[in-house]
């Protein structure tokens, strides 16, 4: 996959002006359950009969998809006072479901339990900037609609001003969400530091992104590894407290609608792919990213990952 444009992180500064300021960094990570309909941020997409006809009968008859998501602004934003969650990935799923003639019920859940919940059949899908890693595509199916990049968040005044190579972080304490690709990346860097005989990296994981952010704010860790969009969002909320450090060596990831593996998956994935391509082509998904994510991350065509097998 092509790397995101060189200007991607610079443009994330625009998020402060394009994202509604909903709560502080401490307001994230609730395990509450919130129901929602197909009403999107501004206007729901219309059902497309030819695409809706692709939906498996069992799903069409049910009419409502139960979608798991961990709070992870700006992809998944949960208001402090409760109520309907929003964010670019939540709205993407709502628009896709609307094209398919379906409604969506969002359940906010701990990130580390989402894949297991899909495997157990508790959810019809999941969203929230979940990276399509090789490990995950062994057990669940992704229909992509976005490309993401990781970055480092550090306090203003931190001695960490750059990380041109991964071993530049040796000797630091890094935080990441439990079960996340960022936690795996931090562990990988720690292994490289050890092999190179350099100072060890201490990796600390937390159940929610809110706890990661609070650990950084409280000085319990030196830096947090998160998606660049999440870092930019936190910076827009907690002004003049944090700064973003690029990770030019970090992998780029595809993200999207995550589906459990069952007898409907192969057919439903194709329906979701068709709906996603429709919304990419008519500009609706780009409008959502413009509003919540400084326009970043849209892909040209949706992919089903893995492309063959397993379903």
pLDDT at site 223 = 98
Give the chain's radius of gyration (CA, Å): 19
Residues 57 and 90 occupy one common structural domain? yes
Q: CA triplet 264, 270, 272: central angle to 5 degrees?
A: 95
CATH code, 59 = 3.40.190.10
Same-domain check for residues 135 and 164: no
Domain span at residue 176 reads 149-246
Looking at the fold, whether 58 and 172 belong to one and the same domain comes out as no
- 310 occurs within a structural domain: no
Residue 125 lies in a domain: yes
Please count the structural domains in the chain.
2
Domain boundary among 222, 246, 270: 246
* Structure confidence at residue 79 (pLDDT): 87
- The answer to whether position 60 is within a domain reads yes
- 235 inside domain: yes
Would you state the pLDDT for residue 42? 56
Per-residue DSSP letters for 279-297?
Answer: HHHTTHHHHHHHHHSTT--
Would you say residue 311 lies in a domain?
Answer: no
Q: What is the pTM (predicted TM-score) of this model?
A: 0.82
Mean pLDDT by 10 residues, the chain (311 residues): 37 38 33 42 81 98 97 93 91 97 96 96 97 96 96 96 95 97 96 96 96 96 96 90 95 96 97 98 96 92 80 41
Residue 307 pLDDT: 73
């Amino acid at each position: 996959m092509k790397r995101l444009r060189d200007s991607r992180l610079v443009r994330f500064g625009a998020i402060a002006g394009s994202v509604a300021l909903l709560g502080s960094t401490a307001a994230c990570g609730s395990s509450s359950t919130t129901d929602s309909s197909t009403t999107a941020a501004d206007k729901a997409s219309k059902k497309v009969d030819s695409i809706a006809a692709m939906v498996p009968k069992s799903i069409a008859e049910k009419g409502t998809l139960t979608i798991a998501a961990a709070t992870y602004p700006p992809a998944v934003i949960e208001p402090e006072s409760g109520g309907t969650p929003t964010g670019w990935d939540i709205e993407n799923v709502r628009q896709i479901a609307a094209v398919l003639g379906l409604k969506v019920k969002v359940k906010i859940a701990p990130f580390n339990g989402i894949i297991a919940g899909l495997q157990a059949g508790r959810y019809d899908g999941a969203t929230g900037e979940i990276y399509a890693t090789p490990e995950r595509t062994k057990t669940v199916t992704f229909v992509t609609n976005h490309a993401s990049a990781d970055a480092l968040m550090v306090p203003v005044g931190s001695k960490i001003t750059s990380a041109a190579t991964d071993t530049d972080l040796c000797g630091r304490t890094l935080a990441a969400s439990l079960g996340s690709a960022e936690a795996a990346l931090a562990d990988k860097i720690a292994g490289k530091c050890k092999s190179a005989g350099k100072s060890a990296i201490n990796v600390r994981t937390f159940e929610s992104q809110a706890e990661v952010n609070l650990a950084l704010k409280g000085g319990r860790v030196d830096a947090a590894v998160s998606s660049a969009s999440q870092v930019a969002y936190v910076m827009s909320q907690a002004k003049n407290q944090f700064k973003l450090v690029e990770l030019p060596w970090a992998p780029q990831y595809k993200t999207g609608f995550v589906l459990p593996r069952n007898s409907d998956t192969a057919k439903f994935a194709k329906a979701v792919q068709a709906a996603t391509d429709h919304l990419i082509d008519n500009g609706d998904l780009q409008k959502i990213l413009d509003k919540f994510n400084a326009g970043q991350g849209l892909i040209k065509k949706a992919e089903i990952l893995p492309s063959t097998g397993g379903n």
